[in-house]
């Protein structure tokens, strides 16, 4: 027995030694990159599908009419110049000449019109792109390189929309050839070509060697170092870091905060946190269901929430504490509108609840005329929201408030909203144009994403005016007013500004992201060494 044990141990030692001596499986030549995506989108067609994830590969496949710089300016890309009529109903784009799609089709006004018509066609089933087009009526080709877009109402976010991959011009020849199967055969004008898309498995891009760089957009004026990028779907959060550690992936987004600290101790992997502008993670408080229909209750909950503790405990301190309806890094963020004290003011909250008639009982919980102070929250399982809910439960219990939490699917949460059964629902939404506030706080969106059931004429007026205002300064002021109104009415409990924690292997070098924070700049990447 002793001999057998010794032999076994020896064998195990030999195996371990062999394993440590064997070459790592990521060496070799070429400059292929493996990029881990965190969600396998249901569809990859930018004109039709919704996911932010699809833009991570596709932003490199398409150039857009307009480019959004890191300073938030809209600069020319495929459109050389543009003008907007005084009434804001007509946009004229003068398009760049000499550009070709990856399949050789010339890029011109007809091609852009074809893309816009496809998006606007109800039969195509577009969801996000059609929303970005707003009150679009039609587009017409003035000459080969001039396109005119007509709107039924002024729509100031349109330039921001045209800077997004969802409205990127696609090759009309490919659209005609592939029809509903276009998502598998996409053809744009960007620095990389779509080579293969196998749903739930991978998306592969290869470098487009004829790419014409447009000054003011990408920086690198020679061909990208990376020749091939394979995107893989790492849906399960627990396997993202192991994929990086094993060298199976070179870049992975949305690393769970609990794994981020492990990366910081690893010389081979760098943690790259990228702040995403938009609506932070917020809890929407229902203004039309008791007890949150009382503004004093909503204000008390805001005061009783120790957001700094939540950010530290759940998000490992990697996210800034959110203060209002827009994240701090948003171009239209109004610093004075927020609820700036990140720690709790339990005494202030208790005073408000006392004033509202919710008295503390012997059991430590509050009630009014026999009704306990109880809230219902519906949470979806993503983005550490259940963990946030659990901390809120504990924090509010100290104030004598009971939070009942139910983890449900999004469809089930919407059913609860339709029945007005919710007091609290969490959401976060990326977006660089503050018009995203309209879809969450405008009374015209009751029954949709207006989960606070806000119906404030002042707020509606500010959002409507901002949507139509052509002057940048005026828009900014209107959105500042909207943010003030949202917080004055305590419609939301802001939790954290969204930060995407990316893990990047040392071979990749410095990976930059676009101004929206989601999409990597693969064109300008300088590899430190070959990754595989």
- Out of 6, 127, 142, 472, the only residue in the binding site for another protein (CB under 8 A) is 127
Residue among 332 and 435 whose Cβ is closer to another protein: 435
Q: Which residues, 6 or more positions from 185, have their beta carbon under 8 angstroms from its beta carbon?
A: 174, 177, 178, 194
Let me know: does 140 contact 147? Beta carbons within 8 Å: yes
Task: Return the DSSP state at 144.
Answer: T
* Residue 402 contacts residue 429 (beta carbons within 8 Å): no
196 binds another protein (CB under 8 A): no
129 with 166: CB under 8 angstroms? yes
Interaction pattern, residues 412-431, with another protein; x per rule: CB under 8 A: xxxxx------------x--
* C-alpha span between 119 and 150 (Å, rounded): 15
Binding status of residue 447 toward another protein by CB under 8 A:
yes
Report the DSSP beta bridge partners of residue 197. 203
Distance CA 327, CA 387 (A): 21
Using CB under 8 A as the binding rule, whether residue 180 contacts another protein is answered as: yes
Please name which of 464, 471, 467 lies closest in space to residue 158, comparing C-alpha atoms. 467
50 binds another protein (CB under 8 A): yes
Q: What residues from 245 to 264 belong to the interface with another protein (CB under 8 A)?
A: 245-248
CA distance 297 to 291: 7
Asked if 141 touches another protein (CB under 8 A), the answer is no
Is 21 a binder of another protein (CB under 8 A)? no
**What angle separates helix 295-304 from helix 346-355, to the nearest 10 degrees?**
160
Is-contact 6 504, C-beta < 8 A?
no
Among 112, 205, 385, 436, binds another protein (CB under 8 A): 436
Q: Does 405 bind another protein (CB under 8 A)?
A: no
User: DSSP assignment, residue 116?
Assistant: H
474 binds another protein per the rule CB under 8 A: no
> Residue 128, class by beta-carbon neighbours within 10 Å (0-12 exposed, 13-18 middle, 19+ buried)?
buried
Q: Does 199 bind another protein (CB under 8 A)?
A: yes
**Interaction of residue 439 with another protein, rule CB under 8 A:** yes
Interaction of residue 19 with another protein, rule CB under 8 A: yes
Site for another protein in 226-245 (CB under 8 A): 232-236, 238-239, 241-243, 245
3-state secondary structure (DSSP) of residue 424: strand
> How many whole angstroms separate alpha carbon 255 and alpha carbon 239?
9
Number of residues that bind another protein (CB under 8 A): 53
Segment lying near another protein (by CB under 8 A), choices 196-204, 214-222, 270-278, 517-525: 196-204
Q: Which of 90, 100, 397, 445 binds another protein (CB under 8 A)?
A: 445
* Ramachandran quadrant class, 201 (left: phi over 0; alpha: psi -120 to 50; beta: rest): alpha
Between 19 and 222, CB nearer to another protein: 19
Among 5, 86, 98, 122, binds another protein (CB under 8 A): 122
Q: Which is nearer to another protein, 199 or 348 (CB)?
A: 199
Contact status: 444 vs another protein (CB under 8 A): yes
Interface positions with another protein (CB under 8 A): 16, 19, 22, 24-25, 40, 42-43, 48, 50, 122, 125, 127-128, 130-131, 180, 198-202, 232-236, 238-239, 241-243, 245-248, 408-416, 429, 436, 439, 444-445, 447-449
């Amino acid at each position: 027995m002793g001999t057998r044990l010794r032999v076994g141990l020896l064998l195990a030692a030999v195996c371990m030694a062999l394993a440590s001596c064997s070459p790592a499986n990521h060496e070799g030549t070429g400059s292929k990159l493996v990029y881990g995506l965190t969600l396998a989108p249901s569809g990859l067609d930018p004109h039709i599908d919704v996911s932010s994830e699809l833009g991570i590969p596709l932003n490199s496949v398409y150039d857009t009419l307009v480019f959004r710089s890191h300073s938030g300016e809209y600069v020319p890309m495929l459109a050389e110049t543009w003008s907007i009529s005084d009434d804001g109903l007509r946009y004229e784009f003068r398009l760049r000449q000499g550009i070709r799609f990856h399949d050789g089709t010339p890029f011109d006004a007809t091609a852009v019109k074809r893309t816009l018509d496809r998006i606007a066609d109800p039969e195509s089933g577009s969801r996000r792109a059609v929303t970005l087009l707003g009150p679009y009526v039609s587009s017409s080709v003035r000459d080969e390189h001039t396109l005119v877009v007509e709107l039924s109402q002024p729509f100031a976010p349109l330039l921001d929309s045209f800077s997004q991959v969802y409205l990127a011009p696609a090759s009309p020849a490919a659209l005609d050839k592939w029809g509903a199967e276009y998502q598998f055969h996409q053809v744009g004008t960007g620095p990389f070509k779509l080579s293969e898309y196998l749903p739930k498995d991978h998306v592969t891009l290869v470098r487009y060697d004829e790419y014409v760089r447009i000054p003011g957009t990408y920086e690198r004026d020679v061909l990208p170092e990376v020749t091939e990028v394979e995107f893989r779907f790492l849906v399960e959060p627990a396997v993202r870091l192991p994929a990086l550690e094993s060298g199976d992936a070179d870049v992975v987004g949305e690393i769970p905060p609990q794994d981020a600290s492990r990366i910081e101790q690893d010389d081979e992997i760098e943690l790259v946190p990228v702040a995403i502008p938009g609506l932070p993670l917020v809890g929407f408080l229902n203004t039309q269901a008791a007890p949150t229909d009382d503004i004093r209750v909503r204000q008390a909950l805001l005061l009783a929430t120790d957001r700094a503790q939540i950010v530290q405990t759940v998000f490992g301190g990697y996210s800034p504490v959110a203060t209002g309806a827009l994240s701090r890094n948003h171009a239209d963020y109004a610093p004075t509108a927020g609820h700036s004290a990140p720690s709790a003011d339990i005494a202030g909250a208790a005073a408000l609840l006392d004033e509202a008639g919710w008295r503390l009982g012997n059991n430590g919980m509050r009630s009014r005329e026999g009704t306990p102070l109880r809230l219902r929250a519906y949470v979806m399982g993503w983005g550490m929201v259940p963990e946030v809910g659990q901390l809120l439960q504990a924090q509010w219990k100290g104030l004598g408030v009971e939070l009942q939490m139910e983890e449900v699917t999004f469809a089930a949460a919407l059913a609860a909203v339709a029945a007005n059964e919710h007091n609290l629902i969490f959401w976060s939404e990326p977006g660089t144009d503050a018009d995203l506030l309209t879809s969450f706080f405008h009374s015209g969106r009751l029954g949709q994403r207006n989960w606070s059931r806000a119906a404030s004429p002042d707020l509606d007026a500010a959002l409507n005016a901002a949507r139509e205002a052509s002057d940048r300064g005026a828009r900014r002021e209107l959105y500042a007013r909207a943010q003030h109104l949202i917080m004055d009415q305590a419609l939301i409990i802001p939790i954290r500004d969204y930060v995407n924690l990316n893990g990047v292997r040392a071979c990749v070098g410095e990976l930059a992201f676009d101004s929206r924070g989601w999409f990597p700049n693969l064109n300008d990447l300088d590899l430190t060494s070959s990754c595989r």
